[in-house]
Amino acid sequence: MKPLRAVLVAGTSSGCGKTSVALGLMAALTRRGLVVQGFKTGPDFIDPGLHRLATGRISHNLDPWMVPSSSLTALFHRAAQDADIAIGEGAMGLFDGRGEDGAGSSAEVARLLGLPILLVIDAQAMGQSVAAVAQGFAGFDPRLHVIGVVANRIGSTRHGHIIRQAMAAMRHPPLLGLLPRCPNLSLPCRHLGLVMAADLPEPHRPLAALAQWVEAAGLVEALLTSLPPYPRAPVPSPLPRRPGPVRIGLAADQAFCFTYAENLRLLEEAGAQLVPFSPLADHRLPPQLHGLYLAGGYPELHAAALAANASLRAEIAALCRAGWPVWAECGGMLYLLEELVDGYGQAFPMVGFFQGRGIMEPRRQALGYREVRLATNCPLGPAGTVARGHEFHYSRVEGRDPEARTLFVEDDGGDSGLFKGMCAASYIHLHLGSNPSLANHFVTACRSMPPWPSPQG
């Protein structure tokens, strides 16, 4: 078995440059011929897509609040079993998580998995203070091992010299790299974060530039010589698949692109054959489906194209009304409403299964972890089933479908989500790793249905 090295690229805060550093390292090491496995702490959907662009491999989320520690450890070792190096990208600041206990933080992931930490510090407004920040972060939790520091946004040779001298006076942690300020390397953003990899006009150009940026600073060599071997663990054997094909249509295009890789794996392990289709481009559903999974994403950016695809909207509405199982999250739920009002105030017709319309707002409407309990029996499981997930959106739903029941009771006692027919929809992105029985229940519900009679041609 070949050796493995692993590191978590974490930062002192959001915006310090850890995504750029992580992507640069992934791209540079992949260009060297190494098999690089990417990971992202927290519930992020966007950065894993960029990781995949840099490494050519599916990147996985590591979130110890949503996923039990044993399952998270198995996920990590399963994904990295054939890799030369695993590179995780942190979220926010190293110790920032949910509430006062920091649950779900990058620090918790590093403790759980025993990952050494490469700390990224934004040095553009600091000199010797970089050393003080580095020492404070390295000593805050003695259970963590900060293997080195990267000082980002260095403005001049003199600036770098000051930082290098201050860091040299400390025994720990060492300075592994000084990265010059390069505004042209910034990745474009929009309302939910960075632009998705599929939407970048020339996606490989910024990755090549980031790889050259970290290589020129000597960071790649410094990291490789600093990382100790990482102990591999046995990978659990996959469960035997249940008999019979269960074809579940998976909405997957630029409008519907927010899916956890582990959710898809658990659905497949439960017996699903996931069949991708595009609500933007496909005028018919794939044939012989037993159910639908409508993931979240950016339907508001593609509302006109979704509205123009009237034949697919009509077929999905017919499938929902006929009682085929459907699971819709966030953007998928908006797609099932009567209308979607974009950020310019223009309304577009959607599927129309649920009464009401989604309205984009200029300010964020919700952000945070959610623990929920199913309020009713549905394709995801029996009433009382508990799961965890995350919510992040700028839209709100206007109007309530009088025929729809509440889907979830949240941990604060509030209710959310819609359930009608066999369609379960909500703003919450569930992580099936929090309760794998949800995958089994959904596939079982789909298995009970005959193939959907999709029109051909």
Phi, psi of 155 (to 5 degrees): -90, -20
Measuring CA to CA, which residue among 111, 123, 119, 175 is closest to residue 153?
A: 123
d(CA 118, CA 130): 14
The answer to whether 87 and 39 are in contact (CB under 8 A) is: yes
- Of 253, 143, 158, nearest to 199 by C-alpha is 253
Backbone angles phi, psi at 372, to 5 degrees: -130, 160
Q: Render 280-300 in DSSP notation, one character per residue.
A: TT-SSPPSS-SEEEE-EE-GG
Query: Residue 214: helix, strand or coil by DSSP?
Result: helix
Residue 112's SS3 state is: helix
Please list the alpha-helical segments (H only) found in 219-359. 219-226, 261-269, 303-308, 310-321, 331-336
Parallel, antiparallel, or unpaired for β 326-329 and 291-294?
parallel
Backbone angles phi, psi at 345, to 5 degrees: 85, 5
Residue-wise over 396-413: b if at least 16 C-beta within 10 A, else e?
Answer: ebeeebeebeebbbbeee
Closest by CA to 430, choosing from 275, 273, 264, 288, is 264
Paired residues of 6 in beta bridges: 86
Whether 446 is a known active-site residue: answer no
Q: Catalytic residue among 16, 257, 320, 330, which?
A: 330
Using CA atoms, how far apart are residues 265 and 439, in angstroms rounded to an integer?
10
Which of 285, 276, 284, 286 lies closest to 255, judged by CA? 276
Task: Tell me which residues are annotated as active site.
Answer: 330
